[in-house]
Chains A and B, each alone.
Chain A
């Protein structure tokens, strides 16, 4: 039998004078990104359906009457695309000046959210410094929403609808919506209320995709005034078994927030309320800081490691000595890392030759 020959992805287009190949279904934007072009955009989130709202990603395509939005235009064979002409760059600058003109401010602390610096970065890149296109500002902040997680500072909203779209497309919660039309457009919940009364699950996805910081992570923002730079450490969420990748935000050894890892293999940028907002048990004052041993008074008292470890070891030796090696039992954690579970089972097996070991999966 002769194997069916599949059409191979040999289609190419010309991008800024260079021939690049692409696969069917890719948009011009995706092709350009892959080719290392930094096409500016504010409404784009790779996880969402292309929207075509901000128009910053417009490019020139030979044969087209006007520039096209590269994020919504499929690449086609033989296309001749120019991503950066003088005319295009001028339109981008004008668009950014327009956007800058509708906000109270355009610079926010990076702790507000994962994408919060996008607008500011573009304004810097295009050297847009406000001033032109003065006029009314859009959006009304919801100051009545007292939830401790999500700041809703819509004075800074630029109506890119990434929050609405991430809530619908990525989370499937449909908690927020777009009210009214045109310049009066306002992101809100059903009946213009607060998030707690809506379908919101406080997953924080709206916050993390907001390119201006109009939506802010209120918990992380508590650390805005702390000294030091924000550092990020990639790890995995400590809650359920889905294993979402997150970036821990720290400032001088203080854990101040969490952001989802957009390239996390299990979550692809998604998180839930626990992974997003329930991180501060880590540096909670209730944490055990010193070993404790029970003294003759029957109470637990702080002590040093040597004393505590000796007490621990002696107790096991004694139990095994008096009641046999099967008298010692180990319960490993389903929340500690592999190294904990592995050493626990090795402790029982290498120490006593038994299999008196289990974990908490039966609870």
Chain B
């Protein structure tokens, strides 16, 4: 067993050393002891109190035995209806965890470095994550075009990096123009034009520059990044290397969520395979999160990488000028980066043409919940939502009908009734008060209690609120209490007024997307399901 000193020696000089060092202690001891925190603080010259505070921020860092060895059961919105609460009770020493990104074949149970999946304690099994099914609409794909090929996640199976070679043969200006021209935009949900972002980093002063791949896929109901990294990691690495060439970046980080331990190994292997090819000019690092939804927010992610308390950062300045270590940084989502190599090979026009109508390109959509065929699908922008749900995914289970779906995982709130008649693109969905975002869609059939679903969603936001800004920290708590009846007025008018006042102020004043988006849940609940709200208040919930 490595000594404290050996672990510190191994990491202290490395880039972004805090998380891997904490993981090293966590893995060695099964938890992070006081002694470990002191050793890390001393080794990295971070105040003890700060390391302590940061450790407590992450869900998965245990501070006492059995710690890492105890099972954690996903109780996310989809898994909740797949038997998660019962499974949680039946596993000794198990604790709940937020959506762990396995909604398409839940329920995942994380123990140590292993995820097992099943609906009951007896049926838990370690199986590879589901591969995206062949495109049900038979449309041309970009990201998933080759993902189903055998051994695609190995260097041999990938048969790629031609795009990198081609990109390296291009001038930065031409490469940037190509990406801009493709209309590729941030697929993590924010939709910022990728070419423009890269250009800003290329032009920003300060070195070294970095490419950060945001693989902290924490939005409930989203599991597309998992699929890409499990089955096509080289596509992402190649995308990062192309981004590095375009911007002059010399460092890259993949920030992967804690709950994907098998993915970590796959990516680690792929990175080792690619190391030589990437060359000395671009050094790649893989970092594992500690379990915190907010670390998917780019400012939090950067703070987390740097070993700081993972609060979102104030903007401006933006990461393009003040990112990792306050230097110019591209932060791109996994899917965005995975789209880059095909665009370089096939051209901007080809990519634009994949969308329907005036929409450019494709979007990966994760569909789960009460649906016949859950999974990841690559859809052209502009595809009607109902086509996806009913034709691609087979609609609601036998004998039931779709009551509501969530948009952007949970962040977009609910769509229901006539408003399901939208197309998969931001203008169409935003017109209904929701947004597409990272395109996690959870389906709830007509047997579900929507107030309960909303409560589960708001509880998630409350638990994941970082605690930095007042509207989100207090607002998510108060909305949660109003959804389960723990506090708040029993009178419906007053209840609606309080919920609406809180929600509106959260949307207007929250410091990051979490607090801005969370009230979409309550606002859409009240909009589509006023009777359920009234009934629930009447029943004294």
- A–B contact with Cβ pairs below 8 Å: the answer is yes
Chain A contact residues, CB within 8 Å of chain B: 42, 50-56, 58, 66-67, 69, 72-74, 87, 90-91, 94-95, 98-99, 101-102, 132-136, 138, 158-159, 161, 168, 174-185, 188-191, 198-199
Residue of B with least CB distance to A67: B508
Contact of A185 among B464, B467, B471, B487 (CB under 8 A): B467
Query: Which residues 40-73 in B have Cβ within 8 Å of A in the complex?
Result: 47-50, 52-53, 56-57
Q: Given A94-B502, A181-B465, is A101 in contact with B474 using a C-beta cutoff of 8 Å?
A: yes
The answer to whether A91 and B473 have CB atoms under 8 Å apart is no
Q: Given A181-B292, A182-B465, is A91 in contact with B474 using a C-beta cutoff of 8 Å?
A: no
Interface digits, B285-318 against A, CB 8 Å rule (1 contact, 0 not)? 0000000101000000000000001000010100
Q: Cα distance A45–B34 when bound, in Å?
A: 32
Name the A residues within 8 Å of B465 (CB-CB).
181-183
The answer to whether A176 and B470 have CB atoms under 8 Å apart is no
Query: Which residues 372-410 in B have Cβ within 8 Å of A in the complex?
Result: none
Q: How far, in Å, is A250 (CB) from chain B's closest CB?
A: 35
Q: Given A52-B314, A175-B49, A181-B467, is A191 in contact with B34 using a C-beta cutoff of 8 Å?
A: yes
Can you list 20 A-B pairs, Cβ within 8 angstroms, ordered by A? A56-B470, A58-B509, A66-B508, A66-B509, A69-B511, A73-B316, A94-B504, A95-B470, A98-B470, A135-B478, A136-B486, A138-B477, A177-B52, A179-B52, A181-B465, A184-B467, A185-B467, A190-B49, A191-B37, A191-B52
Query: Which residues 313-366 in B have Cβ within 8 Å of A in the complex?
Result: 314, 316
Q: Cα distance A184–B294 when bound, in Å?
A: 15
Name the B residues within 8 Å of A90 (CB-CB).
505
Q: How far, in Å, is B472 (CB) from chain A's closest CB?
A: 8
- Not counting A136-B477, A138-B477, a sample of 19 additional A-B residue pairs whose C-beta atoms are within 8 angstroms of each other reads A53-B469, A54-B470, A91-B505, A98-B475, A98-B505, A135-B477, A135-B486, A136-B486, A138-B474, A174-B50, A177-B49, A177-B52, A178-B57, A178-B467, A181-B292, A181-B464, A182-B467, A191-B52, A199-B47
Interface centre among A54, A94, A176, A189 (most CB of B within 10 A): A94
B501 within 8 Å of A by Cβ?
yes
Residue of A with least CB distance to B471: A55
The answer to whether A101 and B473 have CB atoms under 8 Å apart is no
The answer to whether A190 and B52 have CB atoms under 8 Å apart is yes
The answer to whether A55 and B49 have CB atoms under 8 Å apart is no
Name the B residues within 8 Å of A52 (CB-CB).
314, 468-469, 511
Tally inter-chain residue pairs, CB-CB below 8 A: 150
Name the B residues within 8 Å of A66 (CB-CB).
507-509, 516
The answer to whether B477 and A58 have CB atoms under 8 Å apart is no
Q: Cα distance A168–B47 when bound, in Å?
A: 9
The answer to whether A183 and B476 have CB atoms under 8 Å apart is yes
Contact of A159 among B473, B475, B498 (CB under 8 A): B473
The answer to whether B462 and A182 have CB atoms under 8 Å apart is yes
Interface digits, B502-539 against A, CB 8 Å rule (1 contact, 0 not)? 10110111110000100000000000000000000000
Q: Cα distance A261–B171 when bound, in Å?
A: 59
The answer to whether A181 and B48 have CB atoms under 8 Å apart is no
Q: Lowest 4 CB-CB distances: which A-B pairs, in order?
A: A177-B53, A174-B47, A185-B467, A182-B465
The answer to whether A50 and B49 have CB atoms under 8 Å apart is no
Q: How far, in Å, is B292 (CB) from chain A's closest CB?
A: 7
The answer to whether A136 and B481 have CB atoms under 8 Å apart is yes
Q: Given A52-B314, A199-B47, is A183 in contact with B462 using a C-beta cutoff of 8 Å?
A: yes
Name the A residues within 8 Å of B508 (CB-CB).
58, 66-67, 87, 91
Chain B contact residues, CB within 8 Å of chain A: 34, 37, 47-50, 52-53, 56-57, 292, 294, 309, 314, 316, 462-478, 481, 486-488, 498, 501-502, 504-505, 507-511, 516
The answer to whether B52 and A134 have CB atoms under 8 Å apart is no
Q: Given A50-B314, A91-B505, is A158 in contact with B470 using a C-beta cutoff of 8 Å?
A: yes
Q: Cα distance A24–B48 when bound, in Å?
A: 37
The answer to whether A95 and B471 have CB atoms under 8 Å apart is yes
Q: Cα distance A185–B463 when bound, in Å?
A: 10
The answer to whether B49 and A176 have CB atoms under 8 Å apart is yes
Name the A residues within 8 Å of B475 (CB-CB).
98
The answer to whether A135 and B488 have CB atoms under 8 Å apart is yes
Name the B residues within 8 Å of A190 (CB-CB).
37, 48-49, 52
Residue of A with least CB distance to B56: A179
The answer to whether A198 and B477 have CB atoms under 8 Å apart is no
Residue of A with least CB distance to B316: A74
Residue of B with least CB distance to A60: B508
Q: How far, in Å, is A202 (CB) from chain B's closest CB?
A: 15
Name the A residues within 8 Å of B309 (CB-CB).
178
Contact of B469 among A55, A73, A136 (CB under 8 A): A55
The answer to whether A67 and B509 have CB atoms under 8 Å apart is yes
Name the B residues within 8 Å of A69 (CB-CB).
314, 509, 511
Q: Given A53-B511, A183-B467, is A98 in contact with B502 using a C-beta cutoff of 8 Å?
A: yes
Q: How far, in Å, is A150 (CB) from chain B's closest CB?
A: 15
Q: How far, in Å, is A171 (CB) from chain B's closest CB?
A: 11
The answer to whether B49 and A198 have CB atoms under 8 Å apart is yes
Name the A residues within 8 Å of B294 (CB-CB).
181
Q: Cα distance A168–B52 when bound, in Å?
A: 14
Q: Given A53-B469, A58-B508, A181-B464, is A98 in contact with B52 using a C-beta cutoff of 8 Å?
A: no
Q: Cα distance A177–B474 when bound, in Å?
A: 20
Q: Cα distance A161–B309 when bound, in Å?
A: 12
Q: Cα distance A29–B519 when bound, in Å?
A: 27
The answer to whether B476 and A135 have CB atoms under 8 Å apart is no
The answer to whether B49 and A189 have CB atoms under 8 Å apart is yes
Q: Cα distance A191–B50 when bound, in Å?
A: 10
Q: How far, in Å, is A348 (CB) from chain B's closest CB?
A: 52
Q: Cα distance A54–B498 when bound, in Å?
A: 20
Contact of A199 among B37, B48, B316 (CB under 8 A): B48
Interface centre among A159, A175, A178, A188 (most CB of B within 10 A): A178
The answer to whether B469 and A133 have CB atoms under 8 Å apart is no
Q: Cα distance A189–B49 when bound, in Å?
A: 6
Interface centre among B49, B53, B463, B511 (most CB of A within 10 A): B49
Q: Cα distance A361–B464 when bound, in Å?
A: 59
The answer to whether A134 and B462 have CB atoms under 8 Å apart is no
The answer to whether A185 and B473 have CB atoms under 8 Å apart is yes
Name the A residues within 8 Å of B468 (CB-CB).
51-53, 161
Name the B residues within 8 Å of A185 (CB-CB).
467, 473
Q: How far, in Å, is B47 (CB) from chain A's closest CB?
A: 3
Q: Cα distance A90–B504 when bound, in Å?
A: 10
The answer to whether A179 and B477 have CB atoms under 8 Å apart is no
Residue of A with least CB distance to B54: A177
The answer to whether A91 and B509 have CB atoms under 8 Å apart is yes
Contact of B463 among A95, A182, A198 (CB under 8 A): A182
Name the B residues within 8 Å of A94 (CB-CB).
501-502, 504-505
Name the A residues within 8 Å of B462 (CB-CB).
182-183
